[in-house]
Amino acid sequence: MRADKKPVMNEMRKAIPASVIRRFPKYLAHVQAVREVGEVWVSSQALALALGLTSSTVRQDLSHLDYSGVSKRGYKVEELEKILVKVLGLEVSRNMVIVGAGNIGRALALHGDFHRKGFTIRGIFDSDPSLQGSRVGGLTVQSMDALKGAVAGEKIDIGVIAVPASAAQDVADALAKAGVKGLLNLAGTHVRAGEGVAVVDVRLVASLQELAYAIKMFEGE
Binding site for a copy of itself (CB under 8 A): 21-22, 24-26, 28-30, 33, 50-52, 87-90, 94, 96, 102-104, 106-108, 110-114, 117-119, 157-158, 165-166, 181-184, 188-190, 192, 196, 198, 200-219
Residue 43 interacting entry, from a copy of itself, DNA, none, C-beta within 5 to 8 Å by type: DNA
Residue 148 interacting entry, from DNA, a copy of itself, none, C-beta within 5 to 8 Å by type: none
Residue 27 interacting entry, from a copy of itself, DNA, none, C-beta within 5 to 8 Å by type: none
Distance of closest approach, residue 71 Cβ to a copy of itself, in angstroms:
26
- Among the listed residues 19, 103, 130, 166, the single contact to DNA using CB under 7 A: 19
Residue 110 identity: L
By the rule CB under 7 A, 17 interacts with DNA: yes
CB of 60 or CB of 95, closer to DNA: 60
By the rule CB under 7 A, 119 interacts with DNA: no
Q: Using an 8 Å Cβ cutoff, are 194 and 169 in contact?
A: no
Distance of closest approach, residue 31 Cβ to DNA, in angstroms:
13
CA–CA distance, 82 with 91 (Å, rounded to integer): 9
Q: Give every CB contact of residue 34 below 8 A, 6+ residues apart in sequence.
A: 42, 77
Residue 139 identity: L
Compute the chain's Rg from CA coordinates.
21
Q: Give every CB contact of residue 210 below 8 A, 6+ residues apart in sequence.
A: 203
- DSSP secondary structure letters along 180-215: -SEEEE-SSS-----TT-EEEE--SHHHHHHHHHHH
Enumerate residues 41-60 that contact DNA by CB under 7 A. Answer: 43-45, 53-57, 59-60
